[in-house]
Amino acid sequence: MRLDRPKYIPMRIRGTLLLLAFLSLAGGCSTGVSFHPGVAISDKQYFMEPPYIAATPDGYSLRWRYGTMGFSFVPSYRADNGRLLFALQETPGAPQLAGQYGEIPITCETCIRALQRGGAFWVEPDRHEVQLEVKRVLTTPRTQ
């Protein structure tokens, strides 16, 4: 019995890790480990224009135009109670993007269903939600 115990423990740990990995994937999709409110959608340092959902023939994405600060960032998103929620918590990265467009594709099936059924919302620092506009677009925006 004593020789079987070391083999049993690693198998049990491996099984637990596989179960946790499966449950995290089955529970929906998210771009971040932790999701919480961050930057306001009206903060001109981050957004020259408010973010919106771009509906193209190829799918959906979140688009925004970088604000006066000009640093790169990527908002997080997750499906929650049949809606798609976005927030920006990341620390800004490389400079020189003021006025440029940013975009992240929405590829997770759970998130796409939430967007189509319940809409998309930006979570503000005070936790209230601002509904994002869905725009039908055929091309990538050009920076002027």
Per-residue pLDDT tens for 22-39?
333 334 454 544 566 788
* Apex 78 CA angle, 62 and 125, nearest 5: 80
Count CB atoms within 10 A of the CB of residue 47: 22
Task: Flag whether pLDDT at 1 surpasses 90.
Answer: no
Average pLDDT, the chain: 77
In sequence order, the β-bridge partners of residue 130 are 122
- Dihedral (C-alpha) 32, 36, 39, 41: value to the nearest 10 degrees? 90
Average the pLDDT over 39-48 and give the result. Answer: 91
The rounded distance, in Å, linking the Cα atoms of 78 and 29 is 6
**Alpha helical stretches, state H, the chain:** 4-26, 109-118
Residue 84: which H helix or E strand, with range? Answer: strand 83-87
Question: Which pTM does this prediction carry?
Answer: 0.71
Q: 122 near 86, Cβ under 8 Å?
A: yes
Q: Measuring CA to CA, which residue among 133, 130, 111 is closest to residue 52?
A: 133
Q: Quick check: 120 and 53 in contact, CB under 8 A?
A: yes
Q: Measured between alpha carbons, how far is 28 from 81 in angstroms, rounded to an integer? A: 11
Per the structure block, which two tokens stand in for 55? 């509906």
Q: How far is residue 130 CA from its own chain's centroid?
A: 15
The model's confidence at residue 95, banded by pLDDT at 50, 70 and 90, is low
